Amino acid sequence: MRYLPHTEADIQAMLGAVGVGSIDDLFAQIPGQCRRQRPMDLPPALGEWDLDRHMEHLAAATATAPEYKIFLGAGSYDHHIPETIKQLLRRGEFFTAYTPYQPEVSQGTLQAIYEYQTLVGRLLGMEVANASMYDGASALAEALLMAIRVTKRRRVALSRAVHPHYRQVVETYLRPAGFEIVLLPYGADGRTDLSRLANASDLAAVAVQSPNFFGCVEDLKAVEAATHAQAGTLMITAFSEPLAYGLYQAPGRLGADIVCGEGQSLGIPRSFGGPGVGLFACREAHMRSMPGRLVGQTVDLEGRRGFVLTLSTREQHIRRERATSNICTNQGLCALAAAMYMASLGGSGFRQLARLNYDTAGYLKNALQAAGIALPFSAPTFNEFVVRLPAGSQNRYQQLLARRIVAGLPLVQYFPELSDHYLLCATETSRKQDLNLLVQEVTR
In a domain, 288, yes or no: yes
Pairing of strands 293-299, 305-312: antiparallel
> Residue 166 sits in which domain range?
83-342
- Specify whether 222 is located in the same domain as 310: yes
User: Of 309, 342, 375, which residue sits at a domain end?
Assistant: 342
In a domain, 30, yes or no: no
263, 292, 239: which is closest to 128 by C-alpha? 292
Sign (positive or negative) of CA dihedral 83, 84, 87, 88: negative
- Specify whether 231 is located in the same domain as 108: yes
Per-residue pLDDT of the chain (444 residues; tens, 9 = 90+): 456 678 899 999 999 999 999 988 998 899 988 988 888 999 999 999 999 999 999 988 888 888 899 999 999 999 999 999 989 988 877 776 666 667 777 888 889 999 999 999 999 999 999 999 999 999 999 999 999 999 999 999 999 999 999 999 999 999 999 999 999 999 999 999 999 998 888 999 999 999 999 999 999 999 999 999 999 999 999 999 999 999 999 999 999 999 999 999 999 999 888 899 999 999 999 998 999 889 999 998 899 999 988 887 654 555 666 677 777 777 889 999 999 999 999 999 999 999 999 999 999 999 999 999 999 999 999 999 999 999 888 999 999 999 999 999 999 999 999 999 999 999 999 999 999 999 999 988
> What's the total number of domains in the chain?
2
- Specify whether 320 is located in the same domain as 363: no
- Specify whether 286 is located in the same domain as 388: no
- Specify whether 338 is located in the same domain as 350: no
Q: What is the pTM of this model?
A: 0.88
In a domain, 1, yes or no: no
- Specify whether 303 is located in the same domain as 408: no
State the Cα–Cα distance between residues 151 and 143, nearest whole angstrom.
12
CATH of residue 365:
3.90.1150.10
User: Of 316, 342, 368, which residue sits at a domain end?
Assistant: 342
- With residue 237 as reference, give the H or E element that holds it: strand 234-239
110, 360, 407, 165: which is closest to 247 by C-alpha? 360
- With residue 281 as reference, give the H or E element that holds it: strand 278-282
CATH of residue 283:
3.40.640.10
- Specify whether 266 is located in the same domain as 297: yes
